[in-house]
Amino acid sequence: MREIVLDTETTGLSPSEGHRIVEIGAVELLSHMPTGRTLQLYLNPERDMPREAEAVHGLSSAFLKDKPKFIAKAAEFLDFISDSNLIIHNSSFDMAFINAELAAANQPTIANERVVDTLQLARRRHPMGPNSLDALCKRYGIDNAKRTKHGALMDAELLAEVYLELIGGRQTAMSLQSAAKPKTIVAQRPMISNLVRPTPLASRMTEAEKNAHEKAISALGNDPLWTSAS
């Protein structure tokens, strides 16, 4: 099963207010495991970059001015995601932008049925929260030290690890690896029965040793402890 973990960075909070996508990051999963294949697109939003948005992701108008427009990269984006399900954190935000960009580029939009929202998964599993991406990384011991600012590809890579934890995939993978290991065969030692010697060995005590032993026993008296009834 192929899935695509996806994240976007934008100029603002809503495409209805004229905001646009400036970065797309995507990570390919096969059977819930990353393949190493990724997609990162920086896009010219054809508008200014609000100071508040730049403070979140660090992408300036100067950096983006020579980047391709979404319409020029729409086919590459659609080819990469193909018909796979999309794994997105707070998917309503990203999908509103993605479908707005696709519609503006005269491309088919993506149905909600193809989208798995990891925020909803996290809320069901951890109803007391918090369930932000940073909080989930902390909960699952995922190193996000490099995430000083939001970045679509970096966040998609972190989300892939979080998603694996949310669905129990890491434990499953470990179990599969353990099951795949060849069993170690330990040689069994043959059982050795206690054999009775047919002819008892002759005593090695000398007469002097016997006499000394009997003398020591006599010195203990007529009623030694070991002859008493239990």
DSSP alpha helix (H) spans, 82-181: 91-104, 118-125, 133-139, 152-166, 169-180
* 34-41 contacts at long range (C-beta below 8 A, 24 or more positions apart): 34/157, 34/160, 38/153, 38/156, 38/157, 39/76, 39/77, 39/80, 40/152, 40/153, 41/68, 41/73, 41/76, 41/77
**Among the options 89, 126, 150, 213, which is catalytic?**
150
Instruction: Look up 150 and say whether it is catalytic.
Output: yes
| Distances 132 to 87, 97, 117, 162 between C-alpha atoms, Å | 15, 20, 12, 11
Which residues pair with residue 85 across a beta bridge? 3
| The residue to which tokens 């995601």 are assigned | 81
Q: What is the layout of strands, in order, in the sheet containing 85-88?
A: 33-42, 21-30, 2-10, 85-88, 115-117
How far are the Cα atoms of 2, 19, 20, 41 from residue 50, in angstroms, in the given order?
A: 36, 10, 11, 20
- What residues are annotated to the active site? 150
